[in-house]
């Protein structure tokens, strides 16, 4: 039976081996052979492609030596980019690049840019994306794809204008990283699946192609492709050699397959990771010009694909095997939190205790109830070495509950809807929250600083909102302030709710991570961007109510700024006479900006999770983002309907 320690040991040894195969320029040793089966008589070949594939496969594997190797591979990749951000089969500085020149191509370009996006997304700037769009447009077989392989003029010979399934799958994967779905390429995949024919001019078997498909495709033919893969599996659980087997495992896991892969995993673990073979991965150029077909492979690439497959399997196995245990443990944590809250309510007297019980039950049973009570527990289960101090997790969950109750009561007052009778309850909850953090880590000056800074940030954000984001009303009119509030980088939107992050941050500090560590910064960044996106989404839905209350939310400010440009002499806005114009501004101009901004913060939140080295399984935290993303995309759909209505209404 496969033991997790065996997989962990393999990944560590594989990481060391891959690092040892790196050349001084950051690329990895690659070979070419005329033998597509046994790879006999290989000769070294300066192909850059394997290095892109290796960096992409290992982007999220944590190992000290591998981190340095990936950074060097990144430097190599950046040195291969043309001024148009296209890439070539040959390493730019190689002799073959001069003696046997090839045009740049979209296979190398897509895999290189995907590796860049996954490993260092901030380098994929608007300029890079604009260049990519121009490259794609220049070789599209029809508008919206699919695309030719080689980046050559339309007048080039037909052999240079082929449209290849594997190449287009790599293009689709790159675009999927930017939330762009390519229906034309999905159609290519589905046609290939219908025929059980996964063919490419550039890959000697179906396994690389299906692996490429699995990285982006989740359509109706997914299960069919899974069945095809399983039908090709050998009795020993493998798919022949180590490379094809690792590609098949990764593809199945990418497709969400949850069947038994134990035999194949045990087969992969038999690989001598200190001396893996070079196995043909792709069709290469002929480095000797002897008239024969050549195939390229790399021992480091074989190792990287095995490490990627085993890492995926390890993560999924951990999730699946632990789901029942986690569910039961979660119920225990939730029960203990509610018991402590109810006990505190008993000590608080009939009236105050009754209100505490009511709000506790309301929040626990609300749509966000699980997140309110269990966020520290959820985060703890995501990290690679979770704390075993269950009482700490319960205390942090209780503190989060108290924080939400206090926040809810105080926020109602900020919205002019506060109930005076609940103020003592809010104060009680704030005292309890503070006491928990004061006693939880009494020797941690770092925790005290973080707690004080976040609580100060909440108070400052609330003070700024009251001072800057309120406008007077006069009957059915809003009196415009001399200047509208400046939300600048939108950080104020997260500051007022950042207490939600205290539990996860406390867990990191308890484990010895400093405020200056990447793990702490990435966790804080995730919550900041998540909260901003959530607030933008709320503002987009509540702008009408906010405007009529004189509350200058982010959405309201955008609307009023545009309205003021058109009516520079006006000092008031009429809710009767100007409402249709305000609606038009929102639906035609503002909603798109808010949605794009919210989606960008969701992307940054997701990237913060990817960069956080302490996370062994980020899926539960990713799920926090999904409802906001769905709601934002729904707002875009509503915008289309609303603008159609407004246009029809305006045109009679």
pLDDT band at 204 (very low <50, low <70, confident <90, very high): very high
Judge whether 450 lies within some domain: no
What's the structural domain count of the chain? 2
Q: What is the pLDDT of residues 310-328, one digit of tens each?
A: 999 988 876 545 444 555 6
422-447 mean pLDDT = 87
Q: What is the pLDDT of residues 458-477, one digit of tens each?
A: 999 999 999 999 999 998 99
pLDDT band at 109 (very low <50, low <70, confident <90, very high): very high
Q: What is the pLDDT of residues 272-290, one digit of tens each?
A: 999 999 999 988 876 666 6
Least confident of 381-385, 616-620, 641-645: 641-645
The answer, yes or no, to whether residue 614 has pLDDT greater than 60, is yes
Q: What rounded mean pLDDT belongs to the chain? A: 90
pLDDT at 322: 47
Q: What is the pLDDT of residues 210-250, one digit of tens each?
A: 999 999 999 999 999 999 999 999 999 999 999 999 999 99
Cα 205 to Cα 50, 140, 244, 246, 579: the distances in Å are 17, 26, 9, 14, 63
Which of 283, 300, 318 is a domain's end point? Answer: 318
Judge whether 33 lies within some domain: yes
CATH code: domain of residue 269: 1.50.10.20
Which of 318, 336, 370 is a domain's end point? Answer: 318
Judge whether 183 lies within some domain: yes
3-state SS string for 101-139? CCCCEHHHHHHHHHHHHHHCHHHCCHHHHHHHHHHHHHC
Which of 318, 350, 368 is a domain's end point? Answer: 318
3-state SS string for 397-409? HHHHHHHHHHHHH
pLDDT band at 2 (very low <50, low <70, confident <90, very high): low
Intra-chain end-to-end CA distance of the chain, in Å: 73
Q: Distance from CA of residue 152 to its chain's centroid?
A: 34
Least confident of 411-425, 480-494, 635-649: 635-649
Q: What is the pLDDT of residues 155-192, one digit of tens each?
A: 999 989 999 999 999 999 999 998 888 999 999 999 99
The answer, yes or no, to whether residue 645 has pLDDT greater than 70, is no
* Cα torsion angle, 465, 466, 467, 472, sign: positive
pLDDT at 649: 42
Could you tell me what percent of the chain has a pLDDT over 70? 94
pLDDT at 652: 41
Which residues, 6 or more positions from 590, have their beta carbon under 8 angstroms from its beta carbon? 555, 558, 559, 562
578-607 mean pLDDT = 93
Judge whether 74 lies within some domain: yes
pLDDT at 602: 95
Angstrom distance (rounded) from CA 534 to CA 516: 26
Beta bridge partners, 473, equal: 478
Which residues, 6 or more positions from 303, have their beta carbon under 8 angstroms from its beta carbon? 14, 17, 18, 21, 271, 273, 276
43-56 mean pLDDT = 95
Higher pLDDT among residues 63 and 429, named by residue:
429
Judge whether 439 lies within some domain: no
**Domain hosting residue 557, numbered range:** 472-497+516-652
* Cα torsion angle, 134, 138, 140, 144, sign: positive
Q: What is the pLDDT of residues 15-29, one digit of tens each?
A: 999 999 999 999 999
Can you list the positions of beta strands (E) in 465-566? 473-474, 477-479
pLDDT at 364: 84
608-624 mean pLDDT = 90
pLDDT at 323: 47
The answer, yes or no, to whether residue 635 has pLDDT greater than 80, is no
Cis peptide leading into residue 146 (ω within 30°): yes
485-500 mean pLDDT = 93
Judge whether 251 lies within some domain: yes
Cα 277 to Cα 202, 271, 293: the distances in Å are 20, 9, 20
The answer, yes or no, to whether residue 569 has pLDDT greater than 80, is yes
367-376 mean pLDDT = 87
Q: What is the pLDDT of residues 527-565, one digit of tens each?
A: 999 999 999 999 998 999 999 999 999 999 999 999 999
pLDDT band at 414 (very low <50, low <70, confident <90, very high): confident
């Amino acid at each position: 039976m496969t033991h997790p320690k065996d997989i962990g040991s393999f990944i560590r040894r594989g990481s060391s081996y891959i690092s040892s195969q790196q050349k001084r320029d950051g690329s990895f040793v690659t070979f070419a052979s005329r033998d597509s089966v046994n790879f006999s008589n290989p000769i070294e070949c300066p192909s850059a492609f394997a290095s892109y594939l290796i960096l992409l496969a290992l982007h999220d594997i944590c190992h000290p030596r591998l981190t340095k190797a990936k950074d060097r591979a990144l430097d190599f990749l950046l040195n291969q980019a043309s001024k148009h951000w296209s890439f070539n089969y040959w390493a730019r500085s190689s002799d073959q690049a001069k003696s046997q020149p090839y045009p740049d191509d979209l296979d190398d370009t897509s895999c290189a840019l995907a590796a860049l996006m996954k490993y260092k997304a901030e380098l994929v700037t608007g300029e890079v994306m604009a260049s990519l769009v121009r490259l794609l447009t220049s070789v599209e077989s029809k508008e919206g794809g699919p695309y030719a392989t080689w980046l050559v003029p339309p007048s080039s010979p037909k052999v240079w204008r082929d449209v290849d399934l594997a190449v287009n799958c790599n293009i689709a994967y790159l675009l999927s990283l930017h939330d762009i779905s390519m229906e034309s390429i999905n159609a290519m995949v589905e046609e290939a699946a219908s025929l059980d024919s996964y063919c490419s001019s550039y890959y000697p078997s179906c396994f690389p192609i299906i692996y490429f498909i699995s990285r982006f495709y989740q359509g109706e033919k997914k299960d069919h492709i899974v069945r095809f893969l399983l039908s090709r599996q050998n009795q020993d659980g493998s798919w022949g050699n180590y490379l094809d087997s690792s590609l098949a495992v990764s593809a199945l896991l990418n497709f969400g397959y949850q069947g038994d892969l134990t035999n194949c995993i045990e087969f992969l673990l038999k690989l001598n990771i200190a001396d893996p073979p070079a196995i043909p991965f792709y069709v290469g150029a002929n480095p000797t010009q002897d008239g024969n077909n050549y195939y390229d492979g790399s021992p480091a690439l074989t190792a990287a694909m095995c490490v990627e497959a085993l890492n995926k399997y390890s993560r999924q196995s951990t999730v699946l095997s632990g789901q029942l245990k986690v569910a039961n443990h979660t119920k225990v944590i939730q029960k203990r939190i509610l018991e402590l809250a109810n006990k505190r309510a008993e000590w608080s007297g009939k009236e105050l205790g009754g209100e505490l019980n009511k709000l506790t039950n309301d929040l626990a049973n609300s749509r966000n109830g699980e997140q309110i009570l269990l966020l520290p527990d959820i985060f703890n289960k995501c990290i690679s070495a979770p704390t075993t101090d269950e009482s700490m997790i319960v205390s942090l969950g209780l503190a989060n509950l108290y924080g939400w109750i206090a926040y809810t009561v105080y926020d109602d007052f900020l919205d002019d809807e506060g109930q005076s009778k609940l103020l003592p309850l809010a104060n009680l909850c704030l005292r309890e929250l503070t006491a928990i953090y004061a006693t939880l880590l009494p020797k941690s000056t770092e925790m005290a600083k973080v707690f004080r800074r976040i609580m100060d940030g909440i108070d400052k954000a609330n003070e700024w909102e009251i001072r800057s984001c309120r406008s007077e009303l006069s009957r059915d009119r809003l009196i415009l302030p001399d200047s509208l509030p400046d939300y600048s980088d939108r950080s104020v939107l997260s500051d007022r709710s950042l207490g939600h992050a205290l539990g996860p941050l406390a867990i990191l500090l308890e484990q010895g991570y400093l405020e200056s560590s990447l793990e702490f910064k990435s966790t804080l960044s995730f919550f900041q961007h998540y909260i901003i996106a959530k607030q933008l989404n709320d503002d987009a839905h509540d702008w009408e109510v906010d405007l009529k209350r004189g509350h200058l939310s982010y959405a309201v400010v955008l609307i009023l700024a545009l309205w003021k440009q058109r009516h520079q002499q006006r000092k008031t806005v009429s809710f009767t006479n100007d409402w249709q114009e305000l609606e038009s501004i929102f639906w035609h101009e503002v909603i798109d900006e808010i949605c794009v901004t919210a989606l960008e913060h969701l992307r940054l939140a997701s990237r913060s999770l990817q960069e956080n080295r302490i996370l062994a399984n980020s899926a539960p935290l990713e799920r926090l983002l999904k409802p906001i993303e769905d709601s934002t995309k729904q707002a875009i759909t509503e915008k289309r309907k609303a603008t159609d209505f407004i246009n029809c209404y305006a045109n009679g």
